[in-house]
Amino acid sequence: MPATVVLGSQWGDEGKGKLVDRIAEKASWVARFQGGNNAGHTVVLGERVLKFHLLPSGITREDCALVLGDGMVVDPWVLDRELNDWVENGGDEPRGKRIFISSRAHIILPYHTYLDGLDKKIGTTGRGIGPAYADKINRIGLRFAELDEADVEIMATRQNAALAAAGCDQRVSAEELSENLSWIQERFSNCICDTGILLDNALKLGERIVLEGAQGCLLDIDQGTYPYVTSSVTSRGNAGHGAGIHPGHIDTVIGITKAYITRVGNGAMPTELYDADGEHMGSVGHEFGTTTGRPRRCGWFDLVVMRHAQRVNGFTEIALTKLDVLGGLDLLKICVGYELDGKEIHEMPATASALARCKPIYIEMPGFAQLSTAEWLGVASKCNADNIGFKGLPTPAQQYIKTLEGLIGVTISSVGVGPDRDATIDRV
Ligand code: IMP
């Protein structure tokens, strides 16, 4: 059976975790293929709010096996904490049973986080992601496969030189490194394996795999708003590759987009709002980073961004999230192009400086009423139970969805109207 890819089409935080949690019901495997604990996924199950950074969102489905794939950078201490929290909150123990860490994945070590802590330009999450990927590209990184082959003396010397060169006061010792590596082996040796082979075998057996992206297209190291991006390829081209399976296995690519747009960290966002509408999106949408708690910058839906994401990823369908958040705004705006230095453009400029000069060109649409979370959940339940799809939504909300769909040119297969797992309306 083929694989489904779930990707963010904006600057991350589009609601991938909630969708993956939903579709994982019909999957046997959920695999992450890039990034690390810079990601933050929230899954709401009734009263329970679960936040994950490393664990794939399929964790909530106990029949689902989980993979931290080849293309990831993994902080073992964070993973250990997340697994312990999961078990302490009544979950099964996945270690040795259903969680598998790629032997090819790179390890985030303390010195990576020390170095990342010095960032003042990008506004990183400070989790060591960039420095760990830099070591990977420099071919000096440590992978799970080589845990017992590492020369800790050489590592400590090199890491201390890098810390000194960067102006960081912290230092590491060979002894401490040696202890760290033994601890990682002790905690995870029963999970480390060639996960690409596991996934390939699962596909041969006809099992469904979900490849769960982290961050979003505009944070992609090659296709994003460089340099204000993360350090991995967040897009479709890397989904199979970073999981160790070929792209021919992928038949469905779901692009997740909010009904508006948000960004955390630095870098231009042409539709950013500094007014009451932006404040509404931030407060009603609880727009605070899952990983760092930083407030997210909010703005109107940006078709230029979406067009770019569609070109790079070729989404086969779109999941629109957080439509409910727009409830209560009199007028809705959609950015359909930018004005750059007196010219109208419809594609993302390549430089951060040009993007910062772009002024959004909007079309406007009527808004719809604000409902409570429980009321929206009721609307979603009724739409799904009556099998009427989006027709159960207020007319202006339906118009908004239809307009976006027409502009993007891809079917919107579901619409999220609240944080709960069931607050999602499927298209009929
Ligand atoms: P890094 O991935 O920690 O190096 O951060 C680089 C940029 O990506 C910063 O602007 C972060 O705020 C942003 N970023 C990284 N992960 C996420 C995410 O999961 N959601 C939203 N932004 C993210």
Atom of ligand 1 lying closest to residue 38 CA = 16
Alpha-carbon distance of 315 to 327, in angstroms, equals 27
CA 106 to centroid of ligand 1, rounded, Å? 18
Ligand 1 atom nearest to CA at 214: 19
| Of 70 and 47, more confident | 70
Give the per-residue pLDDT at 47. 79
Are 168 and 268 found together in one domain? no
* Ligand 1 pocket at CB < 6 A: 11-13, 38-40, 122-125, 127, 129-130, 214-215, 219, 228, 230-231, 264-265
What's the gap in Å between 271 CA and the centre of ligand 1?
19
Q: Which of 163, 193, 223 is the last residue of a domain?
A: 193
Residue 329 lies in a domain: yes
Residues 379 and 290 in one domain: yes
Q: Is residue 56 part of a domain?
A: no
**φ/ψ bin of 15: left (φ > 0), alpha (ψ from -120 to 50), beta (otherwise):** left
Best substitution site from 10, 34, 37, 38 to test ligand 1's pocket, by max atoms within 8 Å of Cβ? 38
> Which of 193, 210, 232 is at the close of a domain?
193
Burial code (b: 16+ CB inside 10 Å, e: under 16) for 346-377 equals eebbeeeeebeebebbbeebebbeebeeeebb
Per mean pLDDT, which range of 89-93, 316-320, 386-390, 395-399 is the poorest? 89-93
What's the gap in Å between 129 CA and the centre of ligand 1? Answer: 9
Q: Mutual orientation of helices 395-408 and 303-313 as an angle, nearest 10°?
A: 50
Pocket test for ligand 1, best of 225, 230, 231 (most atoms within 8 A of CB): 230
Question: Does residue 82 form part of some domain?
Answer: no
274 with 388, same domain: the answer is yes
Answer yes or no: do 284 and 153 share one domain: no
Q: Mark whether 41 is an active-site residue.
A: yes
User: Ligand 1 center to residue 132 CA distance, Å?
Assistant: 14
What's residue 89's pLDDT? 86
- Say whether pLDDT at 409 is over 90: yes
The count of other CB atoms within 10 Å of the CB of residue 324 is 28
pLDDT at residue 111, rounded to an integer: 97
Q: Is residue 403 part of a domain?
A: yes
| 236 inside domain | no
From atom 16 of ligand 1, which residue's Cα is the shortest distance away? Answer: 38
Question: Is 13 an annotated catalytic residue?
Answer: yes
The per-residue pLDDT for 289 is 86
Q: Tell me: pLDDT of 42 over 80.
A: no
- Residue 46 has a pLDDT of 72
Using the predicted structure, report yes or no on whether residue 414 has a pLDDT greater than 90.
yes
Instruction: Give percent of the chain above pLDDT 70.
Output: 100
Domain of 270? 257-426
Structural domain count of the chain: 2
Residue 226: pLDDT band (50, 70, 90) is very high
In this structure, the answer to whether residues 174 and 290 fall within a common structural domain is no
Shortest-distance atom of ligand 1 to CA 294: 12
In a domain, 1, yes or no: no
Nearest C-alpha to atom 20 of ligand 1 is from which residue?
12
**Ligand 1 midpoint to CA 117 (Å):** 14
291: confidence class by pLDDT, cuts 50, 70, 90: confident
Kindly report, residue by residue over 354-402, the tens digit of the pLDDT. 999 999 999 999 999 999 999 999 999 999 999 999 999 999 999 999 9
Smallest Cα–Cα separation from 99: which of 113, 112, 87? 87
Give me the pLDDT at residue 292, please.
Answer: 85
- The pLDDT value given to residue 49: 81
Instruction: Identify whether 235 is part of a domain.
Output: no
Q: Is pLDDT at 172 greater than 80 in this prediction?
A: yes
Separation between Cα atoms, residue 355 and residue 361, nearest integer Å: 14
Q: Are residues 291 and 376 in the same domain?
A: yes
For residue 393, give the CATH number of its domain: 3.90.170.10
Of 193, 223, 243, the position where a domain reaches its end is 193
CATH label of the domain that carries residue 155: 1.10.300.10
Residue 326 lies in a domain: yes
Statement to judge: residues 284 and 409 lie in one domain: yes
First to last CA, the chain: 24
